[in-house]
């Protein structure tokens, strides 16, 4: 690592002092993961640490969300965000600090106990942001402005950030100049990747119910057959991405589920289709969603459907489109600090709800990736051409970032990025 900016080097000299508590905190958090909207212990541990470092802390925003604010004179306001939730996945890493936790799977509406694991690395995000908060709090001589640390619930459900926004987040954080977040991903630990423009897809699930008229299977003249209607819709939807979206704009429209009827000689009276849409900008997103509605309505009319179709959108994630200027600023600061360990983050097909925060606040944002795989293991897999089969990805029961240099890198990245605005 090289460090050419004086405030960065003076602050990161203390990284070694934070490392022991950060590693303890990480192991503890990894061993005690909490599902979306159940992040009570995590939130309270976060709030305690922020208070110990002199932050003004607001808890319980949008459920379990926590915001820390450190005012340090005049200057810009930088918001750094970490997500706190874990997944209903049974950990198979075999690590000494592997999770054996279980919890009621409230998001599925059942009281059934499910295994819980930090399989997306949000424990890394929380630990790094707490480390960055401590380092910046210790070195207030090196910067000026306001630092906001935001710990959000339920990223995995796509509604944690929105719930914080709906619960008055804007009033808690005040005027913000830039918002930033990071995610640990498969890749060489110690590296960081930025990307201007689209970085993560928007995701929308849609449940479509179409109505027919039930009758005996031998008397189709008395029926409006919902199976034929649904089949026509499925075929017609295949033309949306291929005929209505520019080939330079990536988009996916999948009909993942279709249910109609009960028996071979009974024509049912309705069909339910479940669709998933992935797009990378708001315009393509509305083009695809509007086309689905138009086609379904038209096919219902063509089939003499006796009632209007119903549409229900759920599991929605906004697109993540990094601000070009903010990204260039962060990239330059990373290049100064990380040298050859900074690169370009490839376009990701996954989705995130982080952008709901800056969008609601009307501020630019940037979101970057950090590698979490043991460098030798990753490089060997690249050479062998086995990255896809051998390197566990997020949400896998084997996903376990190596603690170092991942924690050091994620912590440094947040400090370096914040100082690109706040540094004296």
Closest alpha carbon to 119 in 88, 82, 75, 97: 88
User: Shortest approach of Zn ion to residue 351 CB, angstroms?
Assistant: 9
| Residue 349 CB, nearest approach to Zn ion (Å) | 12
Nearer to Zn ion, 55 or 367 (CB): 367
CA distance 142 to 49: 21
- Of 160 and 405, which has the nearer Cβ to Zn ion? 160
Q: Dihedral through CA 300, CA 301, CA 302, CA 303, nearest 10?
A: 50
Among 77, 52, 121, 302, CA closest to 294? 302
Whether residue 191 contacts residue 342, with contact meaning beta carbons closer than 8 Å, is answered with yes
Name which of 72 and 194 has its Cβ closer to Zn ion: 194
Q: How far is the CB of 397 from Zn ion (least distance, A)?
A: 13
Judged by beta carbon, residue 226 or residue 372, the one nearer Zn ion is 372
* Smallest separation (angstroms) from Zn ion to the CB of 156: 5
Spatial CA neighbour of 133 closest among 218, 39, 69: 69
Kindly tell me which of 120 and 237 has the beta carbon lying closer to Zn ion. Answer: 120
Residue 218: what are its φ and ψ, rounded to 5°?
A: -90, -5
SS3 (DSSP) at 421:
helix
Cα distance between residue 365 and residue 361, in whole Å: 10
CB of 350 to Zn ion, least distance (A): 7
Q: Quick check: 202 and 250 in contact, CB under 8 A?
A: no
Write out the residues near Zn ion by the rule CB under 5 A.
120
The minimum distance between CB 391 and Zn ion, in angstroms, equals 16
- Phi/psi region, residue 237 (left: phi>0; alpha: psi -120 to 50; beta: rest), is alpha
Residue 283 vs 349, nearer CB to Zn ion: 349
Choose between 67 and 120: whose C-beta lies nearer to Zn ion: 120
Local structure of residue 393 (DSSP, 8 states):
P
Q: Which is nearer to Zn ion, 189 or 223 (CB)?
A: 189
Nearest distance, CB of residue 394 and Zn ion, angstroms: 5
- C-beta neighbour count of 166 within 10 angstroms: 13
Read out DSSP for 140-194? GGGB-EEEEEEEES-TTTT-HHHHHHHTTHHHHH-S-SEEEEEEEEEEETT-EEE
Kindly tell me which of 58 and 373 has the beta carbon lying closer to Zn ion.
373
Neighbour-count burial of 354, counting CB atoms closer than 10 A to its CB (0-12 exposed, 13-18 middle, 19+ buried) = buried
Cβ 27 vs Cβ 97: under 8 Å: yes
* Contact predicate 212/272, CB 8 Å: no
Q: In this structure, what token pair is assigned to residue 62?
A: 């949008």
Please, which residue, 84 or 418, has the CB nearer to Zn ion?
Answer: 84
Q: How far is the CB of 118 from Zn ion (least distance, A)?
A: 10
Q: Least distance in Å: CB of 284 to Zn ion?
A: 23
Question: Whose Cβ is closer to Zn ion: residue 123's or residue 225's?
Answer: 123
Distances (CA, A) of 105 to 85, 89, 237: 13, 11, 34
> Which position's Cβ is nearest Zn ion?
120
Shortest CB 87 distance to Zn ion, Å: 7
Under the phi-then-psi rule, with left for phi > 0, alpha for psi from -120 to 50, and beta for the rest, what region is 294?
alpha
Minimum distance between the CB of residue 193 and Zn ion, rounded to whole angstroms? 15
The two tokens of residue 387 are 């990255």
């Amino acid at each position: 690592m090289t460090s050419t900016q004086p405030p960065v080097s003076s602050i990161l000299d203390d990284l070694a002092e934070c490392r022991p508590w950060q590693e303890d905190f990480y192991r503890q958090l990894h061993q005690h993961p909490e599902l979306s909207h159940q992040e009570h212990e995590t939130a309270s541990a976060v709030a305690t640490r922020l208070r110990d470092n002199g932050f003004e802390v607001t808890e319980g925003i949008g459920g379990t969300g926590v915001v820390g604010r450190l005012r340090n004179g005049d200057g810009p306001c930088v918001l750094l965000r970490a997500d706190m939730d874990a997944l209903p996945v049974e950990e198979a890493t075999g690590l000494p600090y592997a999770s054996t936790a279980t919890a009621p799977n409230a998001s599925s509406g059942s009281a059934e106990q499910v295994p819980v694991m930090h399989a997306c690395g949000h424990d890394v995000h929380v630990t790094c942001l707490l480390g960055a908060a401590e380092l910046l709090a210790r070195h207030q001589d090196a910067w000026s402005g306001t630092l906001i640390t935001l710990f959000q619930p339920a990223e995995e459900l796509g509604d944690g950030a929105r719930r914080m926004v709906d619960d008055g987040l804007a009033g808690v954080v005040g005027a913000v100049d830039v918002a930033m977040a990071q995610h640990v991903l498969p890749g060489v630990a110690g590296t960081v990747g930025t990307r201007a423009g689209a970085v993560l897809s928007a995701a929308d699930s849609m449940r479509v119910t179409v109505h027919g008229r039930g009758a005996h299977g031998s008397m189709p003249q008395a029926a409006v057959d919902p199976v034929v209607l649904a089949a026509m819709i499925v075929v017609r939807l295949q033309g949306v991405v291929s005929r209505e979206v520019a080939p330079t704009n990536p988009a996916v429209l999948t009909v993942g589920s279709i249910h109609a009827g009960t028996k071979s000689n009974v024509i049912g009276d309705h069909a339910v289709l479940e669709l998933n849409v992935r797009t990378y900008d708001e315009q393509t997103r509305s083009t695809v969603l509007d086309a689905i509605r138009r086609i379904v309505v038209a096919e219902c009319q063509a089939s003499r459907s006796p009632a209007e179709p119903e549409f229900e959108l759920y599991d929605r994630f906004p697109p993540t489109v990094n601000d070009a200027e903010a990204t260039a600023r962060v990239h330059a600061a990373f290049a100064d600090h990380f040298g050859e360990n900074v690169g370009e983050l490839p376009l990701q097909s996954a989705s995130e709800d982080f952008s709901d925060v800056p969008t609601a606040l009307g501020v630019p944002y940037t979101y970057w990736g950090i590698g979490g795989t043991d460098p030798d293991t990753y490089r060997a897999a690249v050479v062998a051409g086995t990255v896809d089969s051998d390197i566990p990805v997020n949400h896998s029961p084997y996903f376990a970032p190596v603690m170092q240099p991942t924690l050091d890198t994620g912590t440094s990245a947040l400090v370096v990025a914040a100082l690109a605005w706040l540094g004296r």
